[in-house]
Amino acid sequence: MERKYVVVTGGVLSGLGKGIAMASIGNLLSSTYKVVPIKCDGYLNVDPGTMNPIEHGEVFVLDDGGEVDMDFGHYERFLGTPCKFEWNLTMGKVFEGVINKERKGDYLGKNVQMIPHVSNWIKDYIFAVGEKNRADVVMIEIGGTIGDIENELYLEAVRSLAREVGRKNILFIHLTYVPIPFGVDEQKSKPTQQSVNLLRQKGIQPDMVIARCSEMLDKSIKDKIASFGNLNSEEVMTGLDVDDIYKIPLVFEKQGMSQLLARKLDIPVKPDLEEWGRLIKNRENADKEITIAIAGKYTRLEDSYASIIEALHHCSSHYSTKINIKWIETSEDKNNSLQGVDGVIVPGGFGSRGTEGKINVIKKCRENKIPFLGLCFGLQMAVIEFARNICEKQGANSTEIDNLCQYPVIDILEEQKSITDKGGTMRLGAHPAILQEGSLVSELYGLTEVSERHRHRYEVNPRFHEMLKENGLILSGMSPDRKLVEFIELPREKHPFFVATQAHPELKSSLFKPAPLFKGFVEAALRRNCCNNI
């Protein structure tokens, strides 16, 4: 089979869910084909690792240590394939590549230009990723909205790529928005028409338009978009607003997406949505309900904790349980109430703001036997709380928060001490851990060696390992050289569920296979909820 390409662009508004649309189409293709997703971002950062999660959402981390756009979370969860750093292209990477080439003399004698040199570099990169990964289908999501200056070169690259691979091997999908303005109460197609026109001005004729809308598109609107966009009516689909993003592959399939893909790309497409659909139903028919608090400092933008919400969502399907999330902003109030909460997550974080609030929340969980799951920074805060209140070392802290603290129970990793550059230099990606036999953590994983993804510079200071153990903290998972603490827990007879990890297990959670620590945590929250309600 010749390699196929599917390009997804967006128009009218940002934030319409291009990543989810692409992941959903990838999901339909992935039961038959090897699908490789590429995301093209317009910013000049080499990767999003240096960006504030409040502005940009969560930084997703891959097995290979790549810090990538959070859309990779959707790709991995919907396609079931671990992704690679090189699949996230940014203008930072593009210009770095072109300038390196120029310095090497690869363009000797030439005047190096945006078009064709930069756009050709992008095109060659896409070809190379497809080839190297032996992709059947390469999917390319172009970030931003049509008309943005930052993404012009990507559009030019895919336009020219289409000429080379031939029209039967490439499919252009344009995602737009159909508003229903208040008082008019009618679906409006004009923004979509204009957006499609803008795309055509760039030399790209879409093969399909997916219009996001709060209701299914009327036939007349579809016809209108089709007629102005040079399409057939069935090539205009609704990207329906849904309460659960996992429904999107089903929403597309119901409208004939796989037949359309098959016809356009000239390949058979046989999606397999049975188990997927069953798990969605499971969540919809939830007969239990719990409330989980997430205590952090980026709580104003839920995208900052996207993968944690996803991992809870997976458990929600798995246990047929409605999970309410209560956000606790630890930088505003040190004394947060945990009334009505069945479990608490203290997620990853950086810097000192909000840390005392987190430590307080953890103390309450420990003392009141509320299920607690600490993730990365959450583990570090739990160790500080334990050192202060159980080991009686009031001056315990992390050197990230107080460089001169009396007991630096959390300290910068040895290998990090000489690093000054901020980009891509943390301890990143998948690292193995050896779990203590008989521990709760090893029971939950059903293994004694696991691998989870990381993103941190600080660790539990080895000078204090003995002190923590002597006072009853179980260091239940260590790096294979036994130098780094990867998992901690309190004995089961002391607490129903008090577990933390230096890793980010939420990043590998999926609908079919929820992260084991989240499963254990949700089970404990269900037990607590059940007891409270008796």
Which positions lie near ligand GLN, rule CB under 6 A? 348-350, 376-377, 400, 455-458
CB of 348 to ligand GLN, least distance (A): 3
CB of 515 to ligand GLN, least distance (A): 16
274 vs 421, which CB is nearer to ligand GLN?
A: 421
Which stretches within 325-464 are classed as H helix?
A: 355-368, 377-389, 440-445
CB of 299 to ligand GLN, least distance (A): 15
485 vs 522, which CB is nearer to ligand GLN?
A: 485
Catalytic residue among 76, 376, 431, 465: 376
Which of 2, 38, 7, 33 is CA-nearest to residue 269? 33
CB of 380 to ligand GLN, least distance (A): 6
User: From the CB of residue 107, how many other CB atoms can be counted at a distance below 10 Å?
Assistant: 14
User: From the CB of residue 446, how many other CB atoms can be counted at a distance below 10 Å?
Assistant: 8
CB of 405 to ligand GLN, least distance (A): 15
269 vs 428, which CB is nearer to ligand GLN?
A: 428
Q: Is residue 117 flagged as an active site residue? A: no
User: From the CB of residue 54, how many other CB atoms can be counted at a distance below 10 Å?
Assistant: 13
User: From the CB of residue 67, how many other CB atoms can be counted at a distance below 10 Å?
Assistant: 24
Q: Is residue 506 flagged as an active site residue? A: yes
| Cα distance between residue 399 and residue 139, in whole Å | 43
Which of 297, 339, 343, 347 is CA-nearest to residue 321? 343
Sequence-ordered list of residues with C-beta below 8 angstroms from that of 531, at least 6 positions apart, any chain: none
| Cα distance between residue 473 and residue 311, in whole Å | 26
**Residue 357: both structure tokens together:** 């609030």
53 vs 144, which CB is nearer to ligand GLN?
A: 53
207 vs 400, which CB is nearer to ligand GLN?
A: 400
349 vs 516, which CB is nearer to ligand GLN?
A: 349
CB of 347 to ligand GLN, least distance (A): 7
| Cα distance between residue 20 and residue 40, in whole Å | 15
How far is C-alpha 334 from the geometric centre of its chain's CA atoms?
Answer: 29
**Residue 36: both structure tokens together:** 């490789």
| Cα distance between residue 245 and residue 249, in whole Å | 9
Q: Are 255 and 237 in contact (CB under 8 A)?
A: yes
Judged by DSSP in three states, 409 sits in: strand
Q: How many CA atoms lie within 13 A of 516 on its CB side?
A: 14
Catalytic residue among 310, 452, 506, 523: 506
Taking CA atoms, 239 is separated from 108, 253, 262, in Å, by: 48, 11, 19
How far is C-alpha 257 from the geometric centre of its chain's CA atoms?
Answer: 25
DSSP strand pairing (208-213 vs 35-41): unpaired
CB of 398 to ligand GLN, least distance (A): 8
CB of 377 to ligand GLN, least distance (A): 3
How far is C-alpha 356 from the geometric centre of its chain's CA atoms?
Answer: 27
30 vs 502, which CB is nearer to ligand GLN?
A: 502
377 vs 487, which CB is nearer to ligand GLN?
A: 377
**Residue 402: both structure tokens together:** 């107080």
Radius of gyration of the chain (CA): 25
Catalytic residue among 174, 213, 504, 523: 504
316 vs 461, which CB is nearer to ligand GLN?
A: 461
What does DSSP assign to residue 518? H
| Cα distance between residue 31 and residue 273, in whole Å | 9
CB of 401 to ligand GLN, least distance (A): 9
Closest residue to ligand GLN, judged by C-beta, is 348
What does DSSP assign to residue 491? -
- Catalytically active residues are 376, 504, 506
